[in-house]
Structure 1
């Protein structure tokens, strides 16, 4: 496939001159690991429900990557072909990316929760040649789904199934029979296959689809340079090195897991521990067993593991840092997690298109993790502008633009949506405030703004307050149409089990916190669960659709 990564070329000279693009690929890093520390444990992959662990040293990992790479070539995969997979956090995930990189294939990880509708779009859009799935995962039959979907995917040549068996042996279409079993690396043409099509640092190496908080997903293209230019300063900011052990329970089919759970440990010559099913008790046990020092996940994971540690009376002394991203962290959670885990809680904000953009510093007061999203990483610039693209002063909310060495190469087949100007500024679609010290706070999405009678409602502030309400498990503030004021605010709430919630109690709670009357929600929608993206972000566009449909029924 031809990849229209049009945002790479114009930046090449600038980023090289500034030395932000390291000019190395994951192949270079893995080869260096084998040369420097071949017998070090590189990867430990744990299957929680099966109670199994698989370990690879760096030498073993490189050899298996070569084996799978030649196996993919035997299936007809060549440079520029897209290889998709829908796997949980497992050793096959990591090894497949390394194998694709050996032969210049483009790796396309897909979240395990995707089903026919999402997959038919993504696999056709990316013209995937090979799709790798588990036979079953968490009770769902992925093999049956892909077999039924295959006729609708003209570019897809092979469906490879991890764990597929026939009469007690690996099936012909299994991962084991096609890729990880045969000693392909010993074949006479293996060396040529493994060297002739290795990608350069500016070739597209990853195709990752956006979660779709606002509608149809877009295919984000990244190169080794854009990924490593973020990973390396990120690791430096977190003071990570070769002696660290990174626990990754956040899905590796999301940028968080991929960049910081798969690529970063290899770049650091460190060790990675993968957890395939999220269970906070299991995560605590793994941290203790593997002596994990660092992890990154969403706010929900942090709350779970803090509560688990408190309930068990367990501390995890090796864990120095828990980096939290994906949603604002509330002050009470930072305090509880700090007390329960003993680790530093770091707040971060980023995007699939950019990787991590801002982080709070390790030396910052704990309060900053709950009141800000941090400062830009080296190689990243941010600005907040008004509706006329004019820069705003500190502490004034506006549209957030980012110019970063880690910026993506563009959206596959949709260059007109790249939202990047001639100077390299990317319109994030977020609203933010930057204070006098350069710390940013995301205040909402530009499409999530609620303007009530000409007054902007501070959505994130109201949501943060409501998260302190004793009856609320989840909350989102969204707009609904009003003939007189244009828009009003609705609180969409998932209540805690066995607790009643009503609008007067919410309003009274906010008034007790001295919230201005015009900011108060004027409607309540109770749900059993929020519609979310695979990354756990609330899909507010779907909530707005629910409200519109409800209003139509009333009218």
Structure 2
């Protein structure tokens, strides 16, 4: 695969000179862990189905990474080849990424909620050579789905199955044979290690044009974010990081997989969100930090309050993905005894802003934090002119952690000649330099921290024979932040029900989390004189209906 990361070269000299890019890779960090703390617990991974727990020291983690790296090389994986993995938060996820880094391969993490429609595009666009999936996760047969996709993906040479029983199992191919002891292992493990500016991660973000975009990151871009992030949160080697957010998201990948290695700390992974088990893990493993979306915080607070069993080791809970309601901040602070930190970020940058540990708790509910060191924010009007503090406008960001570009789509990078990236969000800045996201020009819904690609769902619904016009908008939800509502104008003489709509999208192999959960039928859509649907009016309508209990 050829990676067109055109945003990297123009800013390299400045990023190095300013100390943001240290030219270290995850290989350097893992080797450092083995040299300084080989017998320290690196990883504890809880697999709720079957109640299995895997524990690895840094020495064991590095050995497994070497083993799987040689195994991947045996499958023909080499430098710049893409290895896609649709895995939950299992130890195999961490090991596979580290293994890819040993041989210069690029990892493509895929959310376990994706189905044929999303996967077929991403795997083809990224030219994945290997796809690693669980045999079954949450009662869904991922192996069957992956095998069904192979005929349409000529560049996909191998489907590897974690927990499989055949010759294509992860265990038989990668994790059980002692590949690291092979005569050519040393040469394989050191001949093609990537440099700090080589692409190490290809991760897709939900787009507004109907197709996801492949975000390219290097060791320098992601580590330029992780280091100041950890410093602001005062995290170090003594911390234990709980990660229940999917590692196929940037949240889990950067702060649950990579950050503990950079800190020489310990990670605890939970593959399915169950708040009672999370609370038990925090107590048993001494977890001191976690990051997740607002529903996770609400669930954990409720469980701790109901059980009366506290989580005294948990010092900090960082919330991102949606605004945190003020009452929840107060409740969580009181019930958990934990500092609640608000943050805002993007797949393209990682966390961009977060409040400080010494900030007043109220700032977690009223702002999305202030920029990390090295990050610059600018709010402009639609003509590109800066606006005064307190006035909303388009949010631009310039950061050393900014991505290398969108794979095969440099025209969509949205970065100007001075390095400013248009985030697609609307925001305002306070006089103290804190930011508040006030709206989104991107046409997405954020459901429990997961971006819903609205354009794609609308395009599919237009294929429904009973639908004349459709728009999908957000409706507020106490737990998830937002849910999708399909506003539908039926064809004359036709009608549509929510169960019918849901089944129609299921038949199109759409991820369940992307399917609208509310339906509003109307005779016409509010529109401009040119015929463009005024979605802001639709949002007002469905919010009013929801508030009155009619939706």
What TM-score comes out, normalization by structure 1 length? 0.82
1:355 aligns with 2:350: yes
User: Offset of 1:276 from its aligned partner?
Assistant: 0.4
Give the Cα–Cα distance (whole angstroms) in 2 for the partners of residues 381 and 6 of structure 1: 21
Q: Say whether the 8 Å CA contact 2:113–2:513 is kept in structure 1.
A: no
* Map 1:206-285 → 2, pairs under 5 A: 206-212=201-207, 215-285=210-280
Give the Cα–Cα distance (whole angstroms) in 2 for the partners of residues 495 and 325 of structure 1: 15
User: Offset of 1:448 from its aligned partner?
Assistant: 5.7
Give the Cα–Cα distance (whole angstroms) in 2 for the partners of residues 5 and 319 of structure 1: 39
Give the Cα–Cα distance (whole angstroms) in 2 for the partners of residues 382 and 340 of structure 1: 34
Q: Say whether the 8 Å CA contact 1:213–1:538 is kept in structure 2.
A: no
Give the Cα–Cα distance (whole angstroms) in 1 for the partners of residues 476 and 2 of structure 2: 45
Q: Does the C-alpha gap of structure 1 residues 217 and 393 become closer, same or farther in structure 2, counting only changes over 3 Å?
A: same
Give the Cα–Cα distance (whole angstroms) in 1 for the partners of residues 309 and 217 of structure 2: 40
Deviations 1:343-371 (A, max 9, x none): 00000000000000000110011100000
Give the Cα–Cα distance (whole angstroms) in 2 for the partners of residues 96 and 48 of structure 1: 20
Q: Does the C-alpha gap of structure 1 residues 197 and 495 become closer, same or farther in structure 2, counting only changes over 3 Å?
A: closer
1:492 aligns with 2:492: no
Give the Cα–Cα distance (whole angstroms) in 2 for the partners of residues 29 and 549 of structure 1: 57
1:29 aligns with 2:25: no
Aligned equivalent of 1:12 = 12
1:343 aligns with 2:326: no
Aligned equivalent of 1:61 = 61
Aligned equivalent of 2:44 = 44
**Which of 386, 392, 416 is residue 391 of structure 1 equivalent to?**
386
Unpaired stretches in structure 2, ≥5 consecutive residues: 448-470, 480-496, 506-510, 526-551
User: Offset of 1:50 from its aligned partner?
Assistant: 1.3
Deviations 1:167-190 (A, max 9, x none): xxxx21000000001000000000
Aligned equivalent of 1:327 = 322
Give the Cα–Cα distance (whole angstroms) in 1 for the partners of residues 41 and 472 of structure 2: 52
Q: Does the C-alpha gap of structure 1 residues 265 and 495 become closer, same or farther in structure 2, counting only changes over 3 Å?
A: closer
Give the Cα–Cα distance (whole angstroms) in 2 for the partners of residues 305 and 252 of structure 1: 19
Give the Cα–Cα distance (whole angstroms) in 1 for the partners of residues 146 and 514 of structure 2: 26
User: Offset of 1:539 from its aligned partner?
Assistant: 7.2
Deviations 1:367-401 (A, max 9, x none): 00000000000010000000100000000000000
Q: Does the C-alpha gap of structure 1 residues 428 and 42 become closer, same or farther in structure 2, counting only changes over 3 Å?
A: same
User: Offset of 1:549 from its aligned partner?
Assistant: 8.0
Unpaired stretches in structure 1, ≥5 consecutive residues: 166-170, 450-458, 464-487, 497-525
**Per the alignment, in what secondary structure is the counterpart of residue 416 of structure 2?**
coil
User: Offset of 1:446 from its aligned partner?
Assistant: 1.6
Give the Cα–Cα distance (whole angstroms) in 2 for the partners of residues 537 and 18 of structure 1: 44
User: Offset of 1:212 from its aligned partner?
Assistant: 3.7
Q: Does the C-alpha gap of structure 1 residues 187 and 330 become closer, same or farther in structure 2, counting only changes over 3 Å?
A: same
Aligned equivalent of 1:551 = 524
What TM-score comes out, normalization by structure 2 length? 0.83
Large movers: runs of 4+ above 2 Å: 211-215, 488-496, 526-531, 536-540, 546-552
User: Offset of 1:537 from its aligned partner?
Assistant: 13
Give the Cα–Cα distance (whole angstroms) in 1 for the partners of residues 110 and 514 of structure 2: 18
Give the Cα–Cα distance (whole angstroms) in 2 for the partners of residues 173 and 538 of structure 1: 30
What is the RMSD computed on CA atoms of the aligned residues?
A: 2.9
User: Offset of 1:493 from its aligned partner?
Assistant: 5.4
1:288 aligns with 2:261: no
Aligned equivalent of 1:134 = 134
**Which of 419, 424, 428 is residue 423 of structure 2 equivalent to?**
428
Q: Say whether the 8 Å CA contact 1:492–1:527 is kept in structure 2.
A: no
Deviations 1:480-521 (A, max 9, x none): xxxxxxxx998835689xxxxxxxxxxxxxxxxxxxxxxxxx
Give the Cα–Cα distance (whole angstroms) in 1 for the partners of residues 474 and 292 of structure 2: 26
Give the Cα–Cα distance (whole angstroms) in 1 for the partners of residues 52 and 59 of structure 2: 21
Give the Cα–Cα distance (whole angstroms) in 1 for the partners of residues 232 and 272 of structure 2: 29
Give the Cα–Cα distance (whole angstroms) in 2 for the partners of residues 297 and 136 of structure 1: 25
**Per the alignment, in what secondary structure is the counterpart of residue 129 of structure 1?**
strand
User: Offset of 1:75 from its aligned partner?
Assistant: 0.0
